[in-house]
A and B are shown apart, each in its own frame.
Chain A
Amino acid sequence: MTAYIARRLLASVPTLVLISMVVFGILALAPGDPLGQLAANPDVPPEVRLNIRHQLGLDEPIPIRYMKWASAFARGNWGYSFGSHMEASRLILQRLPTDLWVVGAAYLVAVFLAIPIGVLSAVKQYSVFDQISTTLAFIGFSLPTFFTGVLLIIIFSVRLHWLPFIFNVQVTDPVGMLKQAVMPVAVLALFQSAGLMRFVRSSMLDNVSQDYVRTARAKGLREGVVIIRHVLRNGLIPVVTLLALGLPAVFTGAVVTEQIFRVPGIGSLLIAGIQNNDTPVVMAITFLYAILVVFFNLIADVIYGVLDPRIKYG
């Protein structure tokens, strides 16, 4: 097991290097510069902008820029934002609590909704409950978050004046925190739970018709015990993978939803970084995401083995 984990960790190094090269290359080749917002202001003439490009090292060849970035990163320096010149890692840390709170809450809500509903839907396949939850899941799954987000804003902020639609980290009282988190959490949870619920349902259905379930029933076990002890345990194995792979998103934010509700999470930092051609920030976030994905993949594989003794690590 330990050897397996060590081997997997070692194998992830070239993967991450490759990812960093590809992302860096794309960013470097993308048009635009960090001073784009001053572009139509002739009081900031082109020579000043070229000088600033030079100060930021943007006029150097891409391979050299990459090597500089990579060696700094290897030494633990994630780079400085072109805009604020704050360390990218500090910018990310500043926003992490918000993501853990908003995106994390949405994730928890999604999981707590999806698993019971999915299980119940599978057990009572084609019942009214199954029909309704499946329909709702399809709606949740097919409506993009930018649509549901704006819809909620129009209903609850503009028409009813119940909830604020601009997230403010200055708000610290519990009621205010809750009020401003309700809509983004709801939007995200709806979207995530819909997909998850469908997955749980089909995974459960796969197992319900298996021989071992029939055996369990033939032994005279009660239906509830069969479902919870036997079907659920096996049915949830693939769900664990899905959940583990979904976790990095909690740390890296929800790009669209954060934008709509102005939630200062890492997703909105990424968007702003892309818009402003703030390469160090974008690199830091995408690379963090890559690391987390690789890491949680490994976690999922390990948990898999724990849940399913048939899997052996060689």
Chain B
Amino acid sequence: MSNDEVREIVTLGTTGRLSRREVIARLAMLGLSTSAMASALAGAGLQPVRAAMSGRRGDNGVLKLLYWQAPTIVNPHLSQGVKDYHASRVCLEPLLTVNAAGVFTPVLASEVPSRSNGGLSADGKSVTYKLKPGIKWGDGRPFTAADVVFTYQFVINKESGATTYAAFATIDKVEAPDPSTVKITFKAPTPAWYLPFVGSNGMILPKHALESYVGSNARNAPFNLKSFGTGPYKVESFRPGDLVVYSINEFYRDPNKPAFQQVQIKGGGDATSAARAVLETGEYDYAWNLQVEWPVLEAMTKAGKGVVITEGGGGVEQIYINQTDPNKEVDGQRASIKTPHSFLTDLKVRQAFGLAVDRETIAKQLYGLEGDATPNVLTTPSKLNSKNTKSVFDIAKANQLLDEAGWQKGPDGIRQKGGVKLQVTYVTSVNTLRQKEQQIVKDGWGKVGIAVTLQSVDAGVFFSSSPGNNDTAAHFYRDVQMFTNTFTSPFPANYMRQYYSGDPAKDIAQKENNWSGDNYIRWVNKEYNQMYDQALVELDPTKNDALWIKMNDLVVSQAVSLPLISRRIVSTRAKSLNVAENLSPFDSETRNIADWRRTG
């Protein structure tokens, strides 16, 4: 950068050939600091930079986000992980967004459909969206209902291999009666009309960019690496696995937004050092998803450069109790539905396991602001968090229950009955936080005479869907296992399916379905199944909510899963960065990046 260049730009500004905003933008591109810019502008008699921060497009320079998992693709429907949704959401938008409480806000739709505005049909089979007028794609083409219809066709084509497929699977057809109206018809009456086209799963794709890339060709589209949308930014350059650079979408609907001239998402590394780059060194403005032990994170905040931000709804860390016997093999599989577990099928035993778990200690010592002790398996959205349950840590009561069930302490302190010892293997993924949780739980169980063997499996293996591996969570060849399931829609059906067995038990993970069933604990409960089936079609929102709460209460009272921690979404931002209310479990953290701005 030379002084001549600066002078030339400033002269263009003073002579009116460039607007003040353009002058600032060009100076920013030269790498001038805010104070240097201010003096250059003041010297030329132009308004200083400070005043410009009141909300003009592109005045805030460069925004740097750090993701310890790097984005690999910027087409949300072909996403390989949450980070890809976030990287895509900077450019692309859904019809509606949802906050943690489950409240909808229109994005590309002009209003939230309801019975009263005629958006929702009385039979629950269709929903009609009115689109905001005058919206344009990043390349200047108009956004219309045809794009919404196209997005559906793109995702629903199995050959496309879309990861968002499930959110659209309930749809019968999507039509565009006119360019600003979209009508979605479902196969059956469905209370969850907001599954498709809303939040993370619902980003709308530009038809003209992807038209010839539907189906098996979908992965070859240039758009996947250089996406643009109706959102505030478009991808300028993309290095998969490393860096996404975004520039302003000049066609964005709000002329004063976004505030940043350029956005960068840098990826790679690990969560702890990502937190450090924001909290301790201030190199970055924002870091996402910091599953770091709370004491470590808290210590970093003392440097005073950044703050930790959290929001409820990251899922529930829970201990799942196997209802089948992992030690017996029938028809080439262990933990078969044909062999019930020798003692974990006993309600009193399971309850004793639950009573001996010290949730408060786990919450306080390991999670801090990152999670709360919870008695519920379903805590999100907040209106579905049951108030009928409470978490109790009571060793005496646990002992009493085991006594009642006929389990006597042997000479080695381990309870036994009829030659069977009360010993379990307890597995989770490799993660320092989880291994510490295991220790606390093992300690409690040891106090009531339960012998525990701890195991940990690499997360890549534990969470893989590979049918050939016996160490996956779906195989569940152990007695108890612990992990967190998260979900991305305020309708918890997919999440609650983990306790649903179907009839006959086809949703149980087993050899017959290549362990693709969602019910890993292999629990079969008719009452639960009935309520679940009913909730899928119950159109009255109040009754529907009540059903989910009752299902939660049933799982909790039956102690087939022991909820420990209601996890929160955790990120960090620089003190000088205002991100408004960006966190939501049902949409990406970058959902309102148009509103982010620097305050200091």
Contacts and interface: CB of A to CB of B under 8 A. Distances in A.
A and B interact physically? yes
Interface of A: 31-53, 55-56, 80-86, 91, 94-95, 153, 157-158, 161, 164-166, 168-170, 173, 259-260, 262, 264, 268-269, 272, 275-277
Given A37-B82, A46-B465, A157-B281, 8 more contacts: A31-B468, A37-B83, A40-B483, A41-B485, A164-B281, A166-B66, A166-B283, A268-B241
A268 B268 contact: yes
Interface of B: 31, 66, 69-70, 72-73, 78-83, 158-159, 161-167, 201, 216, 219-220, 224-225, 239-243, 245, 264, 266-269, 273, 276-277, 280-281, 283-284, 303, 315, 459-461, 463-466, 468-469, 471-474, 483-489, 494-495, 497-498, 514-518
A83 B486 contact: no
Contact of B518 (A32, A45, A94, A276): A45
Nearest to A82: B80
A34 B79 CA distance: 11
7 A-B pairs with the lowest CB-CB distances in the bound complex, closest first: A37-B81, A39-B463, A46-B516, A83-B72, A84-B240, A264-B242, A55-B161
B163 A35 contact: yes
Given A37-B80, A38-B81, A166-B284, A45 B494 contact: yes
Nearest to A59: B467
A268 B241 CA distance: 9
Contacts of B486: 40-41
B161 A84 contact: no
A86 B239 CA distance: 10
Contacts of B283: 157, 164-166
A86 B201 CA distance: 23
Contacts of A269: 241
Contact of B240 (A81, A157, A161): A81
B167 A85 contact: no
A39, A82, A164, A170 — most chain B CB neighbours (10 Å): A39
B518 A46 contact: yes
Contacts of B161: 51-52, 55-56
Contacts of B81: 35, 37-38
A interface majority secondary structure: loop
A49 B165 CA distance: 10
A277 B458 CA distance: 13
Contacts of B245: 170
Contacts of B166: 43-45, 48
A158 B275 CA distance: 12
Given A33-B466, A84-B72, A168-B243, A43 B281 contact: no
Given A45-B166, A48-B165, A84 B241 contact: yes
Contact of B163 (A31, A38, A42, A260): A38
Contacts of A51: 158, 161, 165
Given A32-B464, A168-B266, A158 B280 contact: yes
B72 A81 contact: yes
- A42, A91, A157: most-surrounded residue (chain B CB, <10 A): A42
Nearest to A163: B281
A98 to B, nearest CB: 9
A37 B465 contact: no
A95 B241 CA distance: 10
B241 A264 contact: yes
A33 to B, nearest CB: 5
Most buried by B among A40, A43, A53, A277: A43
A45 B497 CA distance: 10
A52 B80 CA distance: 10
Contact of A40 (B266, B303, B315): B315
B487 A85 contact: no
A216 B467 CA distance: 72
23 contacts: A31-B461, A31-B469, A32-B466, A38-B163, A40-B485, A41-B486, A43-B488, A45-B497, A46-B518, A56-B161, A83-B73, A85-B73, A157-B280, A157-B281, A158-B280, A158-B303, A165-B273, A259-B268, A259-B269, A260-B269, A264-B241, A268-B241, A268-B242
Contacts of B241: 83-84, 91, 264, 268-269, 272
Nearest to B514: A50
Contacts of A46: 465, 474, 515-518
Nearest to B66: A166
Nearest to A271: B268
